[in-house]
């Protein structure tokens, strides 16, 4: 089973209250973020994003799950920038498959717990489908290893563009 650790636990469902002996990786991730972000009330901080990468068993394409803000909240628009930038860089990423809401079954996942506990604006799960993606002709194409390298490169470029946008926004403000 690809979802469990050596202790038989789905680590992505242990972020709310990890046990140091059974979930040491989860404890280490949370400690790292806490050490880098001592003031959880500061909106902009040293941590640009937390992006947890997963495989998705049903939906096609690459897409993200993210935090939930009301659509009229300025944070909603700030939060959707990264997924939107990625969607404009490749046909493999589908913005309209992204979801920005929290289901009850996801309450203990990394992206939800880290967003709530540490006030991380860009806290996402990046999903890549096991079923492939729709190309520009709407044909399904299987993912092969170079597609995942491309997604990684696009994510790097997206982070870079996001930093430039943020710096420009600060300069204008």
Indicate the pTM of the whole model.
0.89
Residue numbers annotated as active site: 127
Output the tens digit of pLDDT for each of the chain's 173 residues.
567 888 888 899 999 999 999 999 999 999 999 888 766 666 555 788 999 999 998 899 999 999 999 999 989 999 999 999 999 999 999 999 999 999 999 999 999 999 999 988 899 999 999 999 999 999 999 999 999 999 999 999 999 999 999 899 889 97
**CA distances (Å), 149 to each of 77, 96, 124, 155, in order?**
28, 22, 19, 10
Is the CB of residue 20 less than 8 Å from the CB of residue 7? no
């Amino acid at each position: 089973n690809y979802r469990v650790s050596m202790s038989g636990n789905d680590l992505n469902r242990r972020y709310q209250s990890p046990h140091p002996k059974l979930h040491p990786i989860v404890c280490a991730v949370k400690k790292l973020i806490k050490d880098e972000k001592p003031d959880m009330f500061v909106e902009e901080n040293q941590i640009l994003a937390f992006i947890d990468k997963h495989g998705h068993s049903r939906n096609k394409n690459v897409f993200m799950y993210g935090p939930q803000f009301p659509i009229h909240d300025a944070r909603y628009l700030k939060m959707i920038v990264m997924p939107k930038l990625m969607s404009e860089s490749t046909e493999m990423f589908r913005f309209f498959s992204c979801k920005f809401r929290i289901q009850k079954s996801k309450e203990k996942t990394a992206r939800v717990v880290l967003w709530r506990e540490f006030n991380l604006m860009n806290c996402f799960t990046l999903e890549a489908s096991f079923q492939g993606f729709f190309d520009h002709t709407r044909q399904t194409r299987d993912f092969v290893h170079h597609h995942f390298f491309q997604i990684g490169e696009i994510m790097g470029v997206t982070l870079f563009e996001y930093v430039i946008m943020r710096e420009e926004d600060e300069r204008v403000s």
